[in-house]
Structure 1
């Protein structure tokens, strides 16, 4: 019997499914844990360690190598996209970000019900600039 190991963790189930599909397309069987918990109560994502992607121990090295591949440049060139730049520091290291997620979780724990004052947007991972999505 093969032992299963975590090869990656994600905040959102969609990201885990994309990674799982990448592995399965290479013939590596994988499964996802805690996706339904995070779908039902997204505030628990950080508390439980996110959505975990498991593979058999025999595939661990190969799976991590596949997940480490970055095809962003290929996608950008295929669609002739130019990278987005931070208006403050001109960095291209921007990511989708949910501002206020952790304080909302703390209030949920303390008060027993969520107060949804978070904002979705883009954040520069270098200087911290944030722009809320329209």
Structure 2
């Protein structure tokens, strides 16, 4: 096994490991528990190491160095949104949580949360709230 990448935090290594495993490359994370226990040691020991078999190293490096952000942007649910405001017919709607401020205020005043907010969309043209289905 050889080291193909080093990370400051274990969660970064796990994301990279998942990318490799989705391509069928078996990998191993080293020093994860040491960094979790004493995160200040991360730089001293060289971070969390992502290791693969020597035969898979070239392919693993190619996957880890690839930029898939454009593919993710194209698949985002909001990218081709079909929500239309029922009041004015505008397509200028954004994700919005109704009642979030009052729920926070109740939490501050009473000391325990009351979750009475709703997730949905808000029209930027007429300020109408549209509930998620």
Q: Shorter-normalised TM-score: what interval?
A: 0.5 to 0.7
**What are structure 2's unaligned runs of at least 5 residues?**
80-133
Query: Is it true that 1:46 corresponds to 2:38 in the alignment?
Result: no
Instruction: Classify the secondary structure of the residue corresponding to 2:39.
Output: coil
Which of 6, 17, 20 aligns to 2:17? It is 20
**1:6 equivalenced with 2:3 (yes/no):** yes
Question: C-alpha root-mean-square deviation of aligned residues, in Å?
Answer: 1.4
The total of aligned residue pairs comes to 78
CA distance in 2, matches of 1:26, 1:75: 17
Tell me, in whole angstroms, the C-alpha distance in 1 between the residues paired with 2:72 and 2:56. 27
Which of residues 27, 34, 37 in structure 1 aligns to 2:31? 34
Moved over 4 A (4+): none
In the TM superposition, residue 75 of structure 1 has moved relative to its aligned partner by 2.6
Unmatched segments (≥5 aa) in structure 1: 82-134
Q: Distance in 2 between matches of 1:5 and 1:61?
A: 11
Q: Which has the larger radius of gyration?
A: 2
- Tell me which residue corresponds to 2:56: 59
- Whole-angstrom distance in 2 between the partners of 1:76 and 1:41: 36
* Aligned twin of 1:116: none
Q: TM-score, normalised by structure 1?
A: 0.54
